[in-house]
A and B are shown apart, each in its own frame.
Chain A
Amino acid sequence: MSTETELSTPTMETQKPTVEIQSAVIRFAGDSGDGMQLTGTQFTNTTAVFGNDISTLPDFPAEIRAPAGSLPGVSGFQINFGSQEIRTPGDRPDVLVAMNPAALKVNLADLVEGGTVIVNEDSFQASNLDKAGYESNPLDDGSLEGYRVIRIPLTTLTLNAIKDTGLDRKQGQRCKNFFALGVVYWMYDRPLDHTLNWIQSKFGRNPAVLEANTAALKHGFNYAETTEIFTTHYSIRKASLAPGKYRNLTGNQAIALGAVTAMEKSGRELFYGSYPITPASEILQELSRYKKFGVKTFQAEDEIAAIGAALGASFAGGIGLTGTSGPGVALKGEFIGLAVMTELPLVIVNIQRGGPSTGLPTKTEQSDLFQAIYGRNGECPVPVIAACSPGDCFWSVLEAFRIAMKYMTPVMLLSDGYLANGSEPWRIPSLEDLPDLSFPNATDQDTFQPYARDEKTLSRPWAIPGTPGLEHRIGGLEKQHLTGNVSYDPQNHDNMVRLRAKKVAGIAQDIPPTEIYGDPEGDALIVGWGGTRGAITSATEQLRAKGLAVSSIHIRHINPLPPDLTDIFSRFKKVFVAEINLGQLWTYLRATLLLDSISINQVRGKPFMIQEIMKKVEEQL
């Protein structure tokens, strides 16, 4: 997987040889309380600022603290980083850091053959082995043959490192994740500054903890440098990303940033109504920090009130946004219908997770596509768009608001747990690169009719309370064309149902042409949507490298679909649709465009591996 070239001169102050590689995949795994998410995030940010391309996959249980040492309590964080373009968190880790036997047991099967396992030797005692279901100690019974096992007494070494700080044994043990991080920083030739600064800003007020974490990190680094266990370390050159200024961003952070941007570019107030739900809560938390921008956040009493208040804000002239996950969307369905009937702009973000019902709250899935397109009573067309990478969540929010305001309609934006928590380097746009989102309110008393329509977009006017002379009533009962009065007239209903459908269908003329990765024709086309783009693109790239005539496309606008799909499909002998559900886009394409294809799917709560897509395509070619 990674190409190695021996460098003759060691870098930094280190005396050990450095091997240059193109990419590596590391997984940090431990108890929920071991700080693995923090460790992973620190490694990610250091690596991003260092200049590598990255992709991350936090993977944690729904329980906050499952019993210590147990298998369900294992929390993991995987990062893929390299000097080339990195599109996925990596199929299999090259290095596994396992803080206890349970972490080893849960994660070992994913490790590449001959991969490196770094274990906290201290935690491999009888009680922990028992909790993890090991009958004998895997460190001693030969079951780890074929891997490179690095045994470090992390707990003991950490306690030694912090003995002068005044922390007791229990507090001191908590620093062992920083010791481990120090070791991995040495292995991959990373500077400590970023994490040292972070520790300083986080624990500045608590000198003992500050000192202890600093000591643990540095001792970890020095331990790797001096001990004979480590013979070489690895360097990865900076990635050749497009020029510009970058920051690391998770999907949920990107949604919050995009929403504030939409507010600034629309000249309207942003109203975010939400109810806490995994994995969408970070959006509420992020946006509630942006008070100085005038963002209004509302943690409602339930999912229904959250969207209701957001719709009320849109009626009053703000831009209403509500974020949730699949179960929350189910509750919001009736209000989405009201937004369709009253033709008000509103963006609903669904951070999809494993379903049905409560399902797998912290795991990713793409199984709410049907819900997004169809999940309401009546003929209820809603534009649906899907973000395809953490950074793309930013641009997708802007696109969702553009459609919502231009066409006076609710818009469903699909993200997923993987995009929400995963991160990647994001090129910061300049203000001139951002779309203008100013859409005027109605003001003309003489011509105003609540349900008159723009000839081109078929949207109705946005007449907000406080505007003299435009007083009018809207609601969920069927509207008479033009006047907006309640109407039970059969022909009017037929007309209005068709008008609403036509309005949404017309958006197809207002979306960019589909980009094809690879050649415009060939033996196989892989079609995807949402968070699978990285894996599909990499699979395509690797299949092409093998000489196969494979291309791929990624559908961003799900409803309405881009008008060029039929033409693109016709140029390939076989079409595959890869998605993390049982074939929802596959069904939708057959139903709406009569386009046949082969479904590639899995629902394990995890992103696709590149290899599994490649294998499925190769089998059929």
Chain B
Amino acid sequence: MKLKGIQMTANQSSEMIDLKLDRKDFVSDQEVRWCPGCGDYSILAQMQKMVPNLGVPRENFVFISGIGCSSRFPYYMNTYGFHSIHGRAPAVATGVKLANPDLKVFVVTGDGDGLSIGGNHLIHAIRRNVDLNIILFNNRIYGLTKGQFSPTSEMGKKTKSTPYGSIDNPINPLCVAIAAEATFVARAIDIDTKHLGETLERAANHRGTSFVEVYQNCNIFNDGAFNDFTERTKRADQVLYLEDGKPMRFGKDLEKGIAIQGFSPEVVEIGENYSIEDLLIHNESLSEPTLAYLLTRLHFPEFPVPVGVFRNVEKPEYSDLCRDQIHAAQEKEGKGNLEKLLNSGDTWTVS
């Protein structure tokens, strides 16, 4: 492992290495060009604050993006970065990771980039379980092209390209990730910075594809899209913070919870009719994604909006499998010999 001026001693585990990196080391010299007040600033700040905690040398980080407002992200991270083409970041990232599995690879995408033009690549990266940290900034609008509806825009939404309201049924990013067999699925909110930072860190420490949807406010073309539940005063009643192994409770005094009736979840008041024991207990690591999927179906305003880690399971990682296959072949057949290869098959000599 190449480390920045630090000697690794035998009793130090990799998590404990102090690389003496801090937030400033990850701030690039480029002027940030998002609109003032954009939710992207908060995500960038939390990322720059979080990555020094990972024990990974700066030169091993790669941020890869597609096209859209969020995809300018790599320019602002003082790491290796690749601003690729619309929707295709997961493909580029897969190649980077396979070529050098020691790299810590992030994919930054948006609702249009990741779910519309790049939907195919997103699901295939996830189902392969490539060790990528995919952060999808969901602002439910096309911002960079100035305000057309996106695949996550709600039905009936009036935008520049839907003056009579959208007739497209929106897609739920987390449902897509779970359907693609994602091993790590989470959701966070741009302005809930502490929770956002923690969620990004957990995602980064997951081996395999981690998929994080971040509700991100576009204050120019879709301002306040998430205000009904993200505003500080409303969060306690309208947001369900998922915690592994704990009952699903919310409300100012945690007086409400989620129980299940048959196959249907319901909001219950803890008191006369329901006790804490009646509530659903969150479990991130169930091998079947049924519970995680059920949670993605909790729609506001009937339900609080769940945030945190929905699912977190271990499965073989793609670049490991690729490397293992090569090692196994080399162990069994010996390392390839070019001269032998060129001279293989039926040969004959002309003198």
**A residues with CB within 8 A of B:** 45, 48-51, 194, 238, 240-248, 257, 260-261, 264, 269, 271, 273, 290-294, 296, 298, 300-302, 304-306, 308-318, 320, 334-335, 338, 342, 428-429, 431, 464-477, 485-486
A290 and B284 CA atoms in complex are apart in Å by 39
Residues of chain A contacted by B95 (CB below 8 angstroms): 271, 273, 298, 308-316, 320
Top 9 closest A-B pairs, CB basis?
A312-B95, A475-B83, A308-B91, A293-B336, A309-B95, A473-B81, A291-B329, A305-B91, A316-B99
Residues of chain A contacted by B124 (CB below 8 angstroms): 300-301, 305
Looking at the assembled complex, report how far the CB atom of A426 sits from the nearest CB atom of chain B, in whole angstroms: 9
Residues of chain B contacted by A472 (CB below 8 angstroms): 80-81
A293 and B335 CA atoms in complex are apart in Å by 6
Partner of A246, one of B58, B326, B349: B349
A474 and B347 contacting across the interface, CB-CB below 8 Å: no
Residues of chain A contacted by B80 (CB below 8 angstroms): 465, 471-473
**Chain B positions 109-125 with a Cβ under 8 Å from a chain A Cβ:** 120-121, 124
26 residue pairs A–B, Cβ–Cβ below 8 Å: A244-B350, A245-B350, A246-B347, A257-B341, A271-B99, A273-B95, A291-B326, A296-B98, A296-B326, A298-B95, A308-B85, A312-B94, A316-B100, A317-B99, A318-B100, A428-B343, A465-B80, A465-B100, A466-B102, A469-B59, A471-B79, A473-B28, A473-B80, A475-B83, A476-B83, A485-B30
A94 and B37 CA atoms in complex are apart in Å by 80
**B residues with CB within 8 A of A:** 2, 4, 28, 30, 57-62, 64, 67, 74-75, 77-85, 88, 90-100, 102-103, 120-121, 124, 322, 325-326, 328-330, 332-336, 338-339, 341-351
A309 and B91 CA atoms in complex are apart in Å by 5
Residues of chain A contacted by B88 (CB below 8 angstroms): 304-305, 308, 335
B341 and A338 contacting across the interface, CB-CB below 8 Å: no
B83 and A473 contacting across the interface, CB-CB below 8 Å: yes
B346 and A49 contacting across the interface, CB-CB below 8 Å: yes
User: Smallest CB-CB separation from B120: which chain A residue?
Assistant: A301
Looking at the assembled complex, report how far the CB atom of A450 sits from the nearest CB atom of chain B, in whole angstroms: 11
Q: A313-B95, A465-B80 are in contact. Are A431 and B121 (CB under 8 A)?
A: no
Interface centre among A45, A48, A431, A464 (most CB of B within 10 A): A464
Looking at the assembled complex, report how far the CB atom of B60 sits from the nearest CB atom of chain A, in whole angstroms: 6
Q: A264-B338, A296-B322, A475-B82 are in contact. Are A313 and B96 (CB under 8 A)?
A: yes
Q: A246-B347, A335-B85 are in contact. Are A296 and B99 (CB under 8 A)?
A: yes
Q: How many A-B residue pairs have CB under 8 A?
A: 212
Residues of chain B contacted by A316 (CB below 8 angstroms): 62, 95-96, 99-100, 103
Residues of chain B contacted by A194 (CB below 8 angstroms): 346
- Given A261-B338, A314-B99, A466-B60, 19 more contacts at CB 8 Å? A245-B349, A260-B336, A261-B342, A269-B99, A291-B330, A293-B335, A308-B85, A309-B91, A309-B95, A312-B96, A312-B97, A313-B99, A315-B92, A316-B95, A316-B99, A465-B59, A471-B59, A473-B81, A476-B84
Residues of chain A contacted by B100 (CB below 8 angstroms): 316-318, 464-466
Q: Is the interface of A mostly helix, strand, loop or mixed?
A: mixed
Partner of B350, one of A241, A273, A300, A429: A241
A464 and B103 CA atoms in complex are apart in Å by 11
User: Smallest CB-CB separation from A253: which chain B residue?
Assistant: B345
User: Smallest CB-CB separation from A472: which chain B residue?
Assistant: B80
B329 and A292 contacting across the interface, CB-CB below 8 Å: yes
User: Smallest CB-CB separation from B117: which chain A residue?
Assistant: A304
A248 and B348 CA atoms in complex are apart in Å by 9
Partner of B92, one of A51, A246, A260, A312: A312
Looking at the assembled complex, report how far the CB atom of A267 sits from the nearest CB atom of chain B, in whole angstroms: 12
Q: A260-B341, A301-B124, A316-B99 are in contact. Are A467 and B75 (CB under 8 A)?
A: no
Residues of chain B contacted by A301 (CB below 8 angstroms): 120-121, 124
Residues of chain B contacted by A428 (CB below 8 angstroms): 342-343, 347
